[in-house]
Amino acid sequence: MKKIYMDYNATTPVRPEVLDAILPFYREEFGNPSSVHWAGRAVSGAVEKAREQVAKLINCSPAEVVFTSCGSEGDNMALKGTVAALRDKGNHIITTGVEHPAVLETCHYLEKNGCDVTFLTVDSDGMVDLRQLEDAITEKTILISAMWGNNETGTLFPVEEIGRIARKHKVRFHTDAVQAVGKIPVDVQKAGADLLVLSGHKIGAPKGVGAIYIRRGTRMTPLIHGGHQERNRRAGTHNVAGIVGLGMACELAGQNLEQNAERMAHLRDKLEQGILNQIPDVKVNGHRTQRLPNTLNVSFAYIEGESLLLNFDMKGVAASSGSACTSGSLEPSHVMGAMGVDVALAHSSTRFSLGPDSTEEDVDYILEILPPIIQRLREMSPLYPG
Amino acid sequence: MKKIYMDYNATTPVRPEVLDAILPFYREEFGNPSSVHWAGRAVSGAVEKAREQVAKLINCSPAEVVFTSCGSEGDNMALKGTVAALRDKGNHIITTGVEHPAVLETCHYLEKNGCDVTFLTVDSDGMVDLRQLEDAITEKTILISAMWGNNETGTLFPVEEIGRIARKHKVRFHTDAVQAVGKIPVDVQKAGADLLVLSGHKIGAPKGVGAIYIRRGTRMTPLIHGGHQERNRRAGTHNVAGIVGLGMACELAGQNLEQNAERMAHLRDKLEQGILNQIPDVKVNGHRTQRLPNTLNVSFAYIEGESLLLNFDMKGVAASSGSACTSGSLEPSHVMGAMGVDVALAHSSTRFSLGPDSTEEDVDYILEILPPIIQRLREMSPLYPG
Amino acid sequence: MYTEKVMDHFSNPRNVGEIENADGVGEVGNASCGDIMKIFLKVEDNVIKDIKFKTFGCGAAIATSSMVTEMAIGKTLDEAMELTNAAVAEALDGLPANKMHCSNLAADALHEAIKNYRENHS
Amino acid sequence: MYTEKVMDHFSNPRNVGEIENADGVGEVGNASCGDIMKIFLKVEDNVIKDIKFKTFGCGAAIATSSMVTEMAIGKTLDEAMELTNAAVAEALDGLPANKMHCSNLAADALHEAIKNYRENHS
Ligand SMILES: Cc1ncc(COP(=O)(O)O)c(C=O)c1O
Ligand SMILES: Cc1ncc(COP(=O)(O)O)c(C=O)c1O
Ligand code: FES
Ligand code: FES
């Protein structure tokens, strides 16, 4: 059966060049980069090279890059590390209602532990209101945490303006750029970010490696205490293969950033138009222009997301859904909720996320199989007016 | 040049069977185990299989195994997760002066944040005193954290008796078993441990993956909040390849545990005897019987550790040292310090740690090159009486 | 994650649709996930002669809907009232732990439909 | 981590040893890491004619010891007093950041030896 992967926002295949770069570190170069002998030396050079590759992609200096085990660790470190380090300055955090759970759940945890958290609302496109942000800042505000690109809808926040507001009020700015890095240009200087989190497996590196940018001079308490790795900012033996892979993936992403973005946007737009032209009662979720080039989120009214995904799956198409039924949780997507999408449509929301290897044929195939599936499921739905 | 690796306590090469098990997850099986479609399904099965493999090696149920990114993360989670969860019960932790920095530094951090920590002393063999342990327990004690096997000296703590004392006083017991797992039988039931940490790269799995055993019913606050992975105990997309590798490494370790331990002990003893027979003014550090089968720590009086390591390195031998000079830190090994080894001898301490692939020839080669190196360095030393 | 039986009933659901002028109709919503199921009955001599369903819900919800209609057809109303959620889940060779709540939909909707029939015909 | 120059001086250290009946001896300990260095001088007409060292310390400590002896030999005492730690490190093409403190040993021991000579001969 044809297999079409349209779930690059969930994770990506490891790029062949990345695998080639990694393999020696599973074979001859197995040392611990902290060791002084031959086995350690080759490896510590490779870790530092990867640090430069990551730094180049986001335009910072290598010493400002700290390797982590995933985006979630990075977000936890950004938030908890700031709260612990700036306890004397204040206890107020501003974030948004559409952040990834790695930020939201951490904020809920911090709320239970003495922090005040303001969750900014978003409009029906998932966009924040900068005035609301600025008004929320108080003397106690120590951190603004606002994501660069939304994982469900692709909506892009105006990070440069958020960064400007943060600087104006001397508040630290963290941005979860897990979905933005590698898909669009990400420049920590332009964004005025003090902290920025990325994750390898979203950009063709292996799962289980990520990085956090920590602007020089930013006081942070480590999340993982212990050895002297990463200049005392993150203990634990380096995931050398993963780090080397992350470096290579960043280099590759940087080389083809614009072309890949254009190609993906073209295919995404074709998919979007094709769906809107063929199928009635479809709602596109997310901002129509300020959006990641690879992401399309649509609600097919009257149909529940998981049952749609399973039908896709039977035809070899991998996508994802904001339905509660998919996750086994009790509530459908908090992102749809924050955007004011009604519960049934939130259950119906379906995300197609493309990657650099997506093709016209992939899109054509989806547009071919989609209408009968939708028709069949709607006929099974008690909500469908017929 | 001959290359002899005698630093298995620092890290180990990935076993070929482990690499074979991993590779498919960098190629066709790249899905996110949290996804419902084909790309996720194969992968989630593999993660669950690995969980069973880990559980079997340490004799627990798979649901009690949580995957982490390294031993350091596990130790941080054990300590911080306990302190946060048992805040209402007390704030006193008992640990020992010879723990790994992942435990010690975390304890120092917790001390600054309202915890009382008792650091038990050890004797000149690096052994704890159980009476001192029991006497240290108060009404406020929530955790005993005592390592299974020491990374520098190999000294083995009497974990079963520590577990018994912990249970008797209804105190939670965490053991850092990073160095013990895979080298000697580790059974969480026998040890009476509530928490146990292990790390993949010490047993032939890749760097950047580990696990923590959390006994059923043990209240823990996550270190990494976010998604629903690992039953809400550790957020972050799974390091699938690493986890599969960890599972395979645990299975392999379990198959050959006794034979490997015997082989390594035989070679280690030969090395120890050879050194003691050939070289005067040598002190063995650590317990002579209660010791990991693969670890030999010796101080070559009058010689500083890093200069010895560099000389080994020039002959292709990889070992490690407790000298401050090796790490660029200010103090020589805290383990040597806790054992009352004098500062100059602590600087001289050198660790040879063997692995399942170590051979008689490796040992013979070291015994051959060692005397002239020692002689040369001693003649350069202002401490050497001649 | 789903058993073969679940996937069979999900991909070829039995008895999908509505019955015009049904003798009994039951509709339930799943409070925990917002899903909805509707069951239509044709009853003769206290025996379920025909049954159809419509479901807005996950794979498990659709499969349990299909299964419950197969299990109910031909049964007397009293027998059908004794069909439990657990029995439906079991007939599907089990459901994932986090999907057990979905099976509630099916038996509940059936029971509602029978109650509705009894109200209409008492 | 070390430059080629460092490794060269470490593996083939120049002027290792003691000078019997030295004109000046300097010994310093490195407070931060416990390492020790001893320098022995033979002085004629205020010029360093011979110099030897003994060092208990890391690779950087040994290499800087060796380098400082090479740099000092043939210099007048005044010239030698102006040798700085930085100059020694630079002559080795640099040291890793966390090893800069080791270079303190070398110049300090040299200066101590010269002071010791001056005390003995004033
Ligand atoms: C006893 C002990 N605990 C913890 C660790 C930390 O493990 P990792 O390097 O995987 O973070 C190590 C290894 O360095 C160790 O030897
Ligand atoms: C926006 C965003 N932040 C954080 C994460 C967490 O990254 P990871 O899965 O590497 O922990 C993800 C991915 O799921 C994401 O999309
Ligand atoms: S019906 Fe919603 S999760 Fe199954
Ligand atoms: S002399 Fe001790 S670190 Fe160099």
The 3-state secondary structure of chain B reads CCCEECECCCCCCCCHHHHHHHHHHHCCCCCCCCCCCHHHHHHHHHHHHHHHHHHHHHCCCHHHEEEECCHHHHHHHHHHHHHHHCCCCCCEEEEECCCCHHHHHHHHHHHHCCCEEEEECECCCCCECHHHHHHHCCCCEEEEECCCECCCCCEECCHHHHHHHHHHCCCEEEEECCCCECCECCCHHHHCCCEEEEEHHHCCCCCCCEEEEECCCCCCCCCCCCCCHHHHCCCCCCCHHHHHHHHHHHHHHHHCHHHHHHHHHHHHHHHHHHHHHHCCCEEEECCCCCECCCEEEEEECCCCHHHHHHHHHHCCEECEECCHHHHCCCCCCHHHHHCCCCHHHHHCEEEEECCCCCCHHHHHHHHHHHHHHHHHHHHHCCCCCC
Distance CA D78, CA C52 (A): 106
Whether D29 shows a pLDDT value over 90: the answer reads: no
pLDDT at B2: 87
If DSSP codes are grouped into helix, strand and coil, which group holds residue A16? helix
Is the CB of A102 inside a 6 Å radius of any atom of ligand 2? yes
D to B contact (≥3 Cβ pairs closer than 8 Å): yes
> Which entry of C102, C105, C109, C114 is annotated as an active-site residue?
C102
Instruction: Give the separation between CA A253 and CA A18, rounded to whole angstroms.
Output: 11
Q: Which residues pair with A284 in a beta bridge?
A: A298
The answer, yes or no, to whether any atom of ligand 3 lies below 6 A from the CB of C102, is yes
pLDDT reading at A357 higher than 70: yes
DSSP element (H, E) containing A132: helix A130-136
pLDDT bucket at D119, cuts 50 / 70 / 90: very high
Tell me what percent of the residues of chain B surpass a pLDDT of 90.
Answer: 92
Q: Are B207 and A241 in contact (CB under 8 A)?
A: yes
Cα distance from D37 to chain A (closest Cα, Å)?
22
Q: Which residue has the tokens 């292990």?
A: B198
Q: Which residue has the higher pLDDT, C34 or B308?
A: B308
Residue D33 reports pLDDT greater than 80: no
Q: Residues of chain C with pLDDT > 90: what percent? A: 80
Summarised one tens digit per residue, pLDDT across range C67-116 is 999 999 999 999 999 999 999 999 999 998 888 888 888 889 999 999 99
Query: Contact A237/B207 with Cβ under 8 angstroms?
Result: yes
Ligand 2: centre distance to CA B244 (Å):
21
How high is the pLDDT of residue D98?
82
pLDDT of B24 higher than 80:
yes
| Chain D contact for A41 (CB, 8 A cutoff) | yes
Per-residue pLDDT at A34 exceeds 90 = no
Nearest to D34 by CA among B204, A273, B207, B349: B349
* Residue A176 beta carbon below 6 angstroms from any ligand 2 atom: yes
- A168/chain B closest Cα distance in angstroms: 30
Give the pLDDT of residue B109.
98
| Tally of helices (H runs) and strands (E runs) in chain C | 5, 3
Q: Please answer whether residues A67 and A210 qualify as being in contact, where contact means their C-beta atoms are separated by less than 8 angstroms.
A: yes
Are A347 and C56 an interchain contact pair (Cβ–Cβ within 8 Å)? yes
Distance, in Å, from the CA atom of A43 to the CA atom of A243, rounded to the nearest integer, reads 11
CB contact under 8 A, C58 and A325: yes
| Region at C80 (left for phi over 0; alpha for psi -120 to 50; beta for the rest) | alpha
- State which residue of chain A sits closest to D97, comparing Cα positions: A231
Phi, psi at A272, each rounded to 5°: -60, -50
Contacts of B102 (CB under 8 A, 6+ apart): A224, A225, A226, A227, A235, A236, B71, B72, B74, B75, B76, B176
Distance set, CA A190 to CA A59, A146, A159, B35, B233 (Å): 9, 15, 9, 35, 36
Residue A216 has pLDDT above 70, yes or no: yes
In sequence order, what are the beta bridge partners of A136? none
pLDDT confidence tier of residue C31, bands split at 50, 70 and 90 = low
Separation between Cα atoms, residue A286 and residue A147, nearest integer Å: 14
B282/B280 Cα distance (integer angstroms):
6
pLDDT digits (tens, 9 = 90+) for B45-73: 999 999 999 999 999 999 999 999 999 99
From the candidates C18, C33, C49, C82, which is the catalytic residue? C33
Shortest CA distance to B152 belongs to which of B292, B328, B308? B292
Mean pLDDT for A101-122 is 97
Q: What is the mean pLDDT of residues D50-60?
A: 94
- Mean per-residue pLDDT over chain C, rounded: 92
Buried b (16+ CB within 10 A) or exposed e, A14-49: bbeebbebbbbbbeebbbbbbbbbbbbbbbbebbeb
B349 close to B152: Cβ distance less than 8 angstroms:
yes
Q: Is D33 a catalytic residue?
A: yes
CA dihedral (A11, A15, A16, A18) positive or negative: negative
Work out how many CB contacts closer than 8 A connect B with C: 3
Is residue C33 annotated as part of the catalytic site, yes or no? yes
A335-344: pLDDT as tens digits = 999 999 998 8
Residues A280, A384 contacting (CB under 8 angstroms): no
Q: pLDDT grade, residue C32 (50/70/90)?
A: low
A382 CB within 8 Å of a chain C CB: yes
What is the average per-residue pLDDT within A243-248?
98
List chains touching C (3+ CB pairs under 8 A): A, B
Structure tokens at B133: 């342990």
What per-residue confidence (pLDDT) applies to C100? 84
Residues in A touching D1 (Cβ below 8 Å):
36, 41, 44
Instruction: Answer yes or no: is the C-beta of A70 below 6 A from any ligand 2 atom.
Output: yes
Q: D59-72 and D100-120 are packed helices; what angle lies between their axes, rounded to 10 degrees?
A: 40
The yes-or-no verdict on residue A360 having pLDDT over 90 is yes
Structure tokens at A217: 């001079």
Which residues of A fall within a CB distance of 8 Å from B11?
A: 30-32, 35, 237
Cα D120 from Cα D109, distance rounded (Å): 16
B354 and B294 Cβ atoms separated by less than 8 Å: yes
The residue type found at A102 is: A
**What is the pLDDT at residue C6?**
95
Residues of B in contact with C1 (CB under 8 A): 36, 41, 44
Supply the pLDDT for residue B18: 98
What pLDDT score does B34 carry? 86
In chain A, what percentage of residues exceed pLDDT 70? 99
SS3 content of chain A, % helix, strand, coil (to 5): 45, 15, 40
- Any idea which ligand is nearest the CA of B353? 1
**What pLDDT does residue D32 have?**
62
**For position D19, what pLDDT does the model report?**
96
Nearest-CA distance C75 → chain B (Å)? 36
> Would you give the DSSP letter of residue C114?
H
Residues 6+ apart with CB under 8 A from A185: A257
Instruction: Name the one residue in this structure whose structure tokens are 């000046």.
Output: D24
ipTM: 0.94
The dihedral over CA atoms of B33, B35, B40, B46, expressed in degrees to the nearest 10, equals 20
* Whole-number average pLDDT of chain B: 96
Residue A7, beta-bridge partner list: A353
Hey, what are A304's tokens?
């529940």
Closest residue by Cα to residue C45 from C9, C69, C75: C75
Given a cut of 90, whether residue A375 has pLDDT beyond it is: yes
- For residue A328, pLDDT beyond 80: no
Residue A67's pLDDT is 98
Encode pLDDT of B182-209 as tens digits. Answer: 999 999 999 999 999 999 999 999 999 9
> Which ligand sits closest to the CA of D58?
4
Q: Is the pLDDT reported for residue B246 higher than 90?
A: yes
Best A237, A310, A351 member to test B by mutation, with max B CBs in 10 Å, is: A237
Separation in Å, CA of A330 to nearest CA in chain B: 12
- The string of pLDDT tens digits covering residues A168-211 is 999 999 999 999 999 999 999 999 999 999 999 999 999 999 99
Indicate whether residue C92 lines ligand 3 (CB < 6 A).
Answer: no
- Search chain B and give the residue with CA nearest C59: B36
Task: State the smallest CA–CA distance between residue D49 and chain A in angstroms.
Answer: 37
Q: Report d(CA C119, CA C4) in Å as an integer.
A: 38
Decide if pLDDT at B242 tops 90. yes
Distance C38 CA to ligand 3 centre (A): 14
pLDDT in the model for residue A374: 97
Is the distance from CB of D39 to CB of D26 less than 8 angstroms? yes
Q: Which of A244-253, A319-328, B10-19 has the lowest mean pLDDT?
A: A319-328
> What local confidence, expressed as pLDDT, does residue B4 receive?
97
B45 Cβ neighbours under 8 A, 6+ residues apart: none
Domains of chain C, CATH where assigned: 4-120 (3.90.1010.10)
Is the pLDDT reported for residue A329 higher than 70? no
What subunits touch chain B, counting only 3 or more CB pairs under 8 A? A, C, D
Chains C and D touch (3+ CB pairs under 8 A): no
Question: Does residue B208 contact residue A209 with C-beta atoms inside 8 Å?
Answer: yes
From atom 16 of ligand 2, which residue's Cα is the shortest distance away? A151
Residue B38 forms contact with A (CB below 8 Å): yes
Question: Cβ(B237) to ligand 2 under 6 A?
Answer: yes
Asked if the C-beta of A40 comes within 8 angstroms of chain D's C-beta atoms, the answer is no
Across chain A, what does the average pLDDT equal?
96
Which residues does a 6 A CB cutoff place in the pocket of ligand 4? B 325; D 30, 33, 35, 57-58, 60-61, 99, 102
| pLDDT per position as a tens digit, A72-96 | 999 999 999 999 999 999 999 999 9
Does residue D105 surpass a pLDDT of 90?
Answer: no
- Mean per-residue pLDDT for B111-140? 98
Which of B32, B35, B36 to probe by mutation at the C interface, max C CB count within 10 Å? B36
Assess whether pLDDT exceeds 90 at residue D101: no
**Which of B151, B152, B155 to probe ligand 1 with, by most ligand atoms within 8 A of CB?**
B151
Of all atoms in ligand 1, which is nearest to the CA of residue B149? Answer: 1
User: In 10 A of CB A267, how many CB atoms?
Assistant: 22
Q: How confident is the model at residue D31 (pLDDT cuts 50, 70, 90)?
A: low
The pLDDT tens digits of the residues spanning A52-63 come to 999 999 999 999
**Per-residue pLDDT for B331 more than 90?**
no
Q: Does the structure show a pLDDT above 70 at A245?
A: yes
The interface residues of chain B toward chain A in range 139-198, judged by CB-CB distance below 8 A, are none
Ligand showing the shortest atom-to-Cα distance for residue B310: 4
CA distance B36 to A7: 11
In the predicted structure, residue A39 carries a pLDDT above the cut 80: yes
User: Would an 8 Å CB–CB cutoff place A302 in contact with chain C?
Assistant: yes
Across the interface, whether the CB atoms of C27 and A325 are under 8 A apart is answered no
